[in-house]
Structure 1
């Protein structure tokens, strides 16, 4: 007994005729007859009384079987529809990770637009730093993550989407506010507010400072990048933060560009190398992010040259 046979039986009952059922299902009549004979043989009961006329009548067993198989057929049809939608990327459950500031400043609007277009796709979101998201992606707990490039030597695939532009955020009347553009050397005499040691943004900042000879800086660690702006406003120091965060400031602070964009970070998609290219709903969401984040972020030049399979030792 299979779904096709059940569907044939339901169609016979609906139209009251083997001939009409065969025509509706685009079968030859002998196929319909053989399906019913096999069904009755498998069940060990007669379902349909076969008279001399073209119309059929159900036996008592046939009426019971019809009533109880109706829901089975409906469930199977719904299952087929769900599977078809899943293959088309129209339904599913996606688990994605994202770092700040994208999680708070870019993703809410994008997800609202995407979920309005694909209401049957359910999304679970985790916000953490790149190392944590990379680890969870590697363990299969996330389908993919939006973050900076993970450490080399892991079985992850990274594809850049845009550059996160960093600027200097200063107290409104800070001496450096007199300059239009700052260099890393300008920061040496002043306290620099930095994020935690595990933050890729801080690691990038420290690398740049070492390259320019600014190793012994006066620093104060603040655990949250989004909180840095409030500590700058209070006069505790200056901070290098993404422009998208800095531009939401109220009074008390000012923004200055950084020379040659030395602190900018490449931001992209991370997934398991074995899961790339993404499939079904994951591909739909990733294509949506690709289109909109590249439009709204600072473009990555020569993008093809930046695509990295981290397992092969690629580097940004």
Structure 2
């Protein structure tokens, strides 16, 4: 059974006349009759009672009409969906993100992109940078927002955000009202850090900032989410060096103060598999570059 058989069957079923059905299909009558016979043979049932005076649907033919219509509609929907996916208008885009992206303009970018591509389903997954790189390599993510530049050759990247580090302090801390904080003044303070395992790049960046100020920090707590870092500081369990974006987290009890004479910056990259040729991916990257 082929889709043309279904189209020919429905034309005859609606016209109940082979001549008119052939005219409607823009074919001659013999090929139409042959295709109906082929369909009946493939199904093993007779679909029409026909003689020189009339054409009538059999009971099986009447039952087959709505199912034949449904099959053709499904085929049409599948073809339209394939064309929309090819143009980037449908399908899904799997996006990985670190939690700090919630404060770096990603939600607005996603809303704007979704408004332009309402048929495209955006699927978000919160993962640390290392986890995203693994899933990008194995095709389990289409796009990642990562803190690391250490990417395999199969992954491309573009800078999404670059911002300074701030000192995050509990609001009752002696330095909480300072205009700027010299990193050296944090020597001896218990430091709350983003886990080395979750983001070795960030861990090493913060250690380097402290080392440049002449001391090795006392790392007291390691957590896997930036909001956990800020929350622990807010509870008076230490201090932290965090990306400026975390200032918008609005966690009560946490104060953010600029650092004095620190040039190191927090960077986020949008990453994807270089070999991907998805139209949806291309459209998303175009919006990322245009922001």
> TM-score by structure 1 length?
0.72
* Distance in structure 2 (CA, Å) of the matches to 1:51 and 1:280: 55
Task: Give 2:56's aligned residue.
Answer: 58
RMSD over aligned Cα atoms: 3.5
Q: Which residue of 1 aligns with 2:35?
A: 38
Report the CA distance between 1:41 and its aligned residue: 3.7
Q: Which runs of 5+ in 2 are unaligned?
A: none
Query: What is the match of residue 138 of structure 1?
Result: 137
Listed as ranges, the gaps of 5+ residues in structure 1 are: 296-316
Please tell me whether the aligned partners of residues 180 and 257 of structure 2 are also in contact (alpha carbons under 8 angstroms).
yes
Measured in 1, the distance between the counterparts of 2:112 and 2:157 equals 25
Q: For the residues of structure 2 that align with 1:89 and 1:48, how far apart are their CA atoms?
A: 48
Secondary structure at the residue paired with 1:247? helix
Q: Residues 156-235 of structure 1 correspond to what in structure 2 (within 5 A)? A: 156-177=155-176, 179-188=178-187, 190-198=189-197, 199=199, 200-210=201-211, 212=212, 214-223=214-223, 224-235=225-236
Q: Distance in 1 between matches of 2:7 and 2:262?
A: 65
Distance in 1 (alpha carbons) for counterparts of 2:185 and 2:19:
89
CA 1:46/1:108 → structure 2, altered by over 3 Å: closer, same or farther?
Answer: closer
Q: Give the distance between the partners of 1:264 and 1:249, measured in 2 at CA.
A: 21
The answer for the alignment partner of 1:80 in structure 2 is 79
TM-score (norm 2): 0.77
Is the 8 Å Cα contact of residues 22 and 32 (structure 2) preserved in structure 1?
no
Q: Deviations over 1:130-151 (max 9, x none)?
A: 0111112212222221222352
Question: Separation in 1 of the partners of 2:5 and 2:163?
Answer: 58
1:1-316 mapped onto 2 (5 Å cutoff): 1-16=1-16, 21=21, 27=26, 29-30=27-28, 33-41=30-38, 43-44=40-41, 47=48, 49=50, 51=52, 57-60=55-58, 62-63=61-62, 65-103=64-102, 106-108=105-107, 111=110, 114-115=113-114, 118-177=117-176, 179-188=178-187, 190-198=189-197, 199=199, 200-210=201-211, 212=212, 214-223=214-223, 224-249=225-250, 252-259=253-260, 262-275=263-276, 277=277, 279-288=278-287, 290=288, 295=291
